[in-house]
Amino acid sequence: MLMMALSGLLLLELLLYASCFICGIITAASLTIFQGNFGGLCMLYGLVNFNATASALAIQAPSSASLCYFVSAISVTVAVVCFSLSLYWLYSVCVEGDFNRERVWMNLVVFMCGVFLFFLLISGCVLKIGRDTLCDSVMRSVSNISSCEEAQTKKWVSPIKGEMFYSNLRKAETAAWVNFFFWLLIGLLVVIQKRQPSGSKVLTGGLSGPVGGLFGDPGVTAAETEPFFNRPGRPQ
């Protein structure tokens, strides 16, 4: 029963790694598309104005490109780590059949969770505040709109393609916060597995000791085979 619980926790952990990988890719891809639509400029915390001559929105002041690069780098790093961990554990479980891991490895995963949670929290806040700042600037520039999402219907000065700026930023932000929540769950799962009794391994059956050594099967202890080799003598 214990091994079934451990394998179930490990399976859930693998699913969370895969989900974090997808969230990281979505954040990085959405932010890259958003930045590309503005000619490579990072418009998180950016300012816009209304160009009366062209009757369209125009960029007034972009923000530092390092903001977008930072969020993208964190998302890609998390995605690569999650992909690597998923492959490693799939190999360990399917090929080597090993469901156990050392406590040192678990401590490393907990530390990694803390680091990723910190940077994902910063990324989520940057996306949230940066999107709100851009939306406030857009809504101040255009008087006849009631929401930032509605501003996507407005025309932008060419070659800017800002029609989907709000959707891309919202998608990136949502994926970042979901990624943050999944890493919280991963940390919780690892802590639960750390509290499980150590030394539980999958039993494969067979013999150990002198006989088990011949067949290479350590599934049964020597104490279990002792009655078969040290039977009391028959009465005379």
SS3 2: helix
Residues in the chain: 236
Backbone φ and ψ for 61, nearest 5 degrees, come out as: -155, 110
CA angle 128-82-92, nearest 5°? Answer: 160
Any residues with CB less than 8 A from the CB of 98 and at least 6 apart, and which?
Answer: 92
Any residues with CB less than 8 A from the CB of 73 and at least 6 apart, and which?
Answer: none
SS3 43: strand
- Tens place of pLDDT for every residue, the chain, 236 residues? 444 444 677 788 888 999 999 999 999 999 999 999 898 899 999 999 888 887 888 888 999 899 999 999 999 999 999 999 888 877 776 766 555 666 777 888 889 999 999 999 999 999 999 999 999 998 888 877 888 888 888 888 888 888 889 999 999 999 999 999 999 999 998 888 777 665 444 333 333 444 344 334 444 454 544 444 454 555 54
Is-contact 43 136, C-beta < 8 A? no
Residue listed under structure tokens 């503005």? 38
pTM for the full predicted model: 0.76
